[in-house]
Every structure is written in structure tokens, then in C-alpha cells.
Amino acid sequence: MFSMARRGSYVSFSFWILLAAVSIYFVWPLKDHPRRGIDLVGGFYITLKVNVDEAVRAELMHRMRGLVDILQDNSIVEPVNHKVEGHAILLTFKTVEDANKAFQAFRVRSNLNMNVHHEGETVRLVLPDHVAQFIKENAVEGNVDVLRKRLNELGVAEIPVSRQGENHIIIELPSVDNPAQAKEMIGKTSNLEIKEVEGSAAHEEDLLERFDGVLPDGMMIVTEEREGRTTYYLVPDYTDLTGRDLKNASFGKGPQMQAIVNFEFNTEGAQKFGDLTKKARGRQVAMIVDDKVISAPSVNEPITGGSGYIHGSFTDESAKNLATMLRSGAFLAPVTFEEERRIGPSLGAESIRQGFMSCLIGMGFLLIFSLFYYKAAGFLAFLVLIYNLLLIIVAMSWLDATLTMPGIAGMVLTVGMAIDCSVLIYEKIKETLTEGVTFKRAVDIGFSDAMVVILDGNITTFIVGLVLYKFGTGPVQGFAITMMLGVLATLISGLFVLKSLFTFILDGLKFERISI
């Protein structure tokens, strides 16, 4: 009959062996795990240019609606024409008197943050240079955030997306399963707008004929492509109901099992949606994405729930992509591809080889050090290091994290930190043995006393990793991830796996002591 201690040692040892076997099974072959970054496998360097002037124009169009509300609040006749020109809004009134009234109403509004000028029947409102510059800066930074969300939705983790200069964005896209899909999603603005339809026709000329061949002020024409036919819609050129008001978007199936995109507005968006559908009762509203009509359903009853769905000529994949882009948000300004460079994997192969060699050399020196200073116990510490690296690889594969060159550096650093854990434990064991206690008791004291110091050092390192991951990007995050996973693996392997090895040898195999 086994004693309870001996049975416990076998159970504990068997658990860690089983965990290692299962881990190797799920990440085999190891050469395919974890996923590697562009510096290791090659990929695309993509340079995008942000049209920041369009961001200023969009902001002015948004402000224009607020100006109309001010006129209505002051019972002032609305302008006969309005347009955006550069960094200014031009409002043209029927008479000089109306223009002067509008000028006086705007001038007393300090929150407009615009310079107001009056010239005859025209009122000109100009954005100050510092405000325009802020909008441009915000557009570039906002597009960077949107791109990071989109690429993460694709399952492409740790993609370096960074700003370059005043209006350029650099993306490093590693080898992915569908690079064409990724590039397509990168280039789309994905701006959702919902507008009331003022008229529709099969030909643009037929639509304009209703207005004597002249497009009415404040209106625009958008098209819908369906089953090889084009339909033209006349809609307002501005709406305040956009994708910015979305709370969520998801792929779904419609009543006839067709692919649809479900959407849900936030509280403010739900109010706007309800007002629009109430106003458009018995008419069509157009669901417009990037100036293309996706669908234009008729409104039978006002929709007050703040949710609905978009249906069109969707495949499952295109509906999922649209939902992804709507969730990640629209670009604050459109982008264009300026440059695309393909990077081969040869540099990555050399980096992997050198990184692998550095790990082997480091592990070799650690083995010599461990055997020289701690003999058989040192060999056990070396086995725990191997287990440590296995845990890191498994964790990175499970988290679908991307391994980069900085990540390899983090793994090498982790190996050095992990052996430090064993050194602290062994030194405490040796110190305790000089007091004349049994070897087994010295082991228990060594692990328990060293635990506080080990936890303190590793927790502070983990906090540093969290900060690097939170505020860093791309390669810095890669380094932070491997360092944090290395800290966790060190605690598991150093405090539990190593202790389990000692317990198995002393209790399970009935050794009196281990040379240390």
C-alpha cells in the first residue's frame, strides 16, 4: 500500500506530465506555433494617405445642421443656398436683412468657435486654423484606432499600425490566410448613413427631369446595384444619423434565410432613428454605406426600438465583413493606398535561426551553470526551464498571439528570470541545511520562504509588462506579451512544477536527498 504522501507525489507529478503531453499535442508541430509577425514570416508594408480635408468638410457639414437650428430658434428665414468652401460655411439669404439677422444670431453664440463674417446676402463662418488642425490630427489618430480594431476583428493580432508624418499611416501586415480581404477592409471607409428618399428612378436623367434637370440644393444622387440593375435615389446630402450612433452590428439571417446585418443604435441614435422613420412614414429610407445604397426599405410604421437590419445582395462573407467594419467604426476621413511593398520571409528565416541559436546557447550556459553550482538539483531546474518555455508557447498559441523578434527577446529574457527563481529556492535550502534539519524539511522551508521574494519580483515585472502592452504598439506589445506570459510560466514552473519534482523524488521514489 502506498502511503498518502507517496500517492500524492505520484498524482501531482502525473498531472504536470499529462499537462505537458496535452500541450505538445495541441501545438504540434512546434514549428507552426505560435503565429509569427511580419519580421519573421514576411508580408506587406502598406502606406495609406488620409484625406484630412474631407474630415474638415464632414465637420463643417455637421455644424451646418446646427446653424439651421439656431436660425429656427430665432425665427429667422433659412438660407436659400448653403455650401462648404474650404474651411468655411457659406450661407446665402434672400435679402441683406435676413443675412444681417443671421449674422447677429451667430455672432453672440460663443460656443460656435467660428469666425463670422457678413457680406451682403452672404454670411461666412470660418473655422479658426487651430480648430481645423485639431480636426485633421483627430482624423488621422481616429483612423489608426479604427484600423487596429478592424485588423484585430480579422484575427490578425499585434499588427503595427502607426502614424507617419502629418497625414500618412503605416501598416505592417504579416502573412495572413486572406491578405486580399484584409487589404479590402483596410481601404473601405465604411460610413453608414440613413437618409430619407426624396425620389427614385431607373435612370439619372429621369430623376433630374422632375426638377427641371437641375439637382436641388442640399441634395445628392446615390445609386443601388441589384441583380444587374441600377436604381438612382435622390437623398439629402447630409444626415445626422450615421454609423457613429451605432451601439452594435452583427451578422444574421433574415426571414428567408438570406444574409443580413443586424444593427442597434445607442440612446441618441435610437431617438434620431425614431424621428426619421416617423417623418418618412409611407416612404423609403436609404441605408447607405460609402455613398452606395445597400437597401431602401419602405417605412410602414415608425421604428422606436432603435434596432433593425440591413438586407441586400449579401453573401454570408460580405455580410460578416460589413458587420465587422460597422462595429469597428467608420474612418473619420477616407484613405488611399500610397504604397505597398512585399517583404519576403528570408530575413525572417534568418531572424528565427539566430533567435533559436541564442536560445540554445543561453540554455546551454544555464545548464552548465546549474550542474556546476547545484548538481542534480540544477538538472531539475533546467528541466523546469524547458517546461517554462513550453508553457509560454502553448499560452501564445491559445491566445492566438503573434511572435515577433522583440517577442523572442522577451522569451530569452524570461529564461534568465526563470532560473533566478530556482536560485532563490536552492540558496534558501542550502542555508537551512546548515541548521541541521532534514533535507525534506529544508526543501519545504526553502520553497515557502523564497515564495514571498519570488512573487514580489515577478509581480512587479508583470505590472511593467501590463504598462508596456497598454501604451505600446506592435513590437513593444509583442515583447510585453511574452514577458507577461513568461512571468506566469515562471511562477507555475518554479513554485509548483519544481516542487512537484522534488516531492516525487523524495516521497515517490524514496530518495533521502538530492545533491545540491
3-state secondary structure 417-473: HHHHHHHHHHHHHHHHHCCCCCHHHHHHHHHHHHHHHHHHHHHHHHHHHHHHHHHCC
Q: Is 74 in the same domain as 125?
A: yes
Assign 185 a pLDDT band (cuts: 50, 70, 90).
low
pLDDT at 13 over 50: yes
Q: Is 196 in the same domain as 294?
A: yes
> Please, what is the Cα angle at 474 between 469 and 479, to 5 degrees?
55
Beta strands in 152-306 (DSSP E): 161-164, 168-174, 192-196, 199-201, 219-226, 229-236, 246-253, 259-265, 285-289, 292-295
Chain position carrying cell 450615421? 242
Stretch 310-338: mean pLDDT, rounded? 74
Instruction: Using DSSP bridges, classify how beta strands 192-196 and 81-85 pair: parallel, antiparallel or unpaired.
Output: unpaired
Q: What CATH number is given to the structural domain containing 125?
A: 3.30.70.3400
Average pLDDT score over the chain: 80
In a domain, 515, yes or no: no
Assign 472 a pLDDT band (cuts: 50, 70, 90).
confident
**3-state DSSP assignment of residue 495:** helix
Buried/exposed code over 311-330 (b: 16+ C-beta within 10 A; e: otherwise):
bbebeeeebbbbbbbbbbbb
Give the DSSP per-residue string, 119-187. Answer: ETTEEEEE--HHHHHHHHHHHHHHHHHHHHHHHHHTT-TT--EEEETTTEEEEEEE--S-HHHHHHHHH
Q: Is 14 in the same domain as 90?
A: no
Longest dimension (CA), the chain: 107
Count other Cβ atoms within 10 Å, centred on residue 301. 9
Determine phi and psi for 355, rounding to 5 degrees.
-65, -40
Q: Which of 187, 206, 229 is the last residue of a domain?
A: 187
Assign 1 a pLDDT band (cuts: 50, 70, 90).
very low
C-alpha grid cell, residue 381? 531546474
Stretch 29-41: mean pLDDT, rounded? 65
pLDDT at 423 over 60: yes
Number of domains in the chain: 3
User: Residue 155's pLDDT is what?
Assistant: 45
In a domain, 131, yes or no: yes
46 and 337 Cβ atoms separated by less than 8 Å: yes
361-403 pLDDT per residue, tens? 877 888 888 888 888 888 998 888 888 888 888 888 887 777 7
By percentage, how much of the chain surpasses pLDDT 70? 86
**3-state DSSP assignment of residue 96:** helix
In a domain, 514, yes or no: no
Assign 457 a pLDDT band (cuts: 50, 70, 90).
confident
Q: How far apart are CA 423 and CA 429, in angstroms?
A: 10
**pTM of the entire predicted model:** 0.58
Q: How far apart are CA 221 and CA 89, in angstroms?
A: 22
In a domain, 513, yes or no: no
148 and 159 Cβ atoms separated by less than 8 Å: yes
Q: Is 26 in the same domain as 136?
A: no
480-513 pLDDT per residue, tens? 888 888 889 888 888 888 888 888 888 878 888 8
Q: Is 200 in the same domain as 110?
A: no
Q: Which of 318, 336, 354 is the last residue of a domain?
A: 336
Domain range enclosing 261: 190-336
Q: Is 66 in the same domain as 205?
A: no
Query: In Å, what is the CA distance from 223 to each residue of 237, 291, 293, 485?
Result: 13, 8, 6, 51
Q: Which of 187, 221, 256 is the last residue of a domain?
A: 187
Q: What CATH number is given to the structural domain containing 247?
A: 3.30.1360.200
More confident residue, 510 or 439: 439
User: Residue 268's pLDDT is what?
Assistant: 82
Q: How far apart are CA 310 and CA 296, in angstroms?
A: 9
Q: What CATH number is given to the structural domain containing 407?
A: 1.20.1640.10
Q: Is 160 in the same domain as 144?
A: yes
More confident residue, 414 or 223: 223
Q: Is 128 in the same domain as 258?
A: no
In a domain, 101, yes or no: yes
User: Residue 175's pLDDT is what?
Assistant: 63
In a domain, 96, yes or no: yes
Q: Is 501 in the same domain as 353?
A: yes
By percentage, how much of the chain surpasses pLDDT 90? 0
User: Residue 156's pLDDT is what?
Assistant: 41
Assign 182 a pLDDT band (cuts: 50, 70, 90).
low
Distant-in-sequence, close-in-space partners of 514: CB < 8 Å, separation ≥ 6? 376, 377, 380, 439, 502, 505, 506
In a domain, 205, yes or no: yes
Q: Is 359 in the same domain as 374?
A: yes
Q: Is 329 in the same domain as 372?
A: no
Assign 355 a pLDDT band (cuts: 50, 70, 90).
low
In a domain, 170, yes or no: yes
Q: Is 85 in the same domain as 145?
A: yes
Chain position carrying cell 437590419? 309
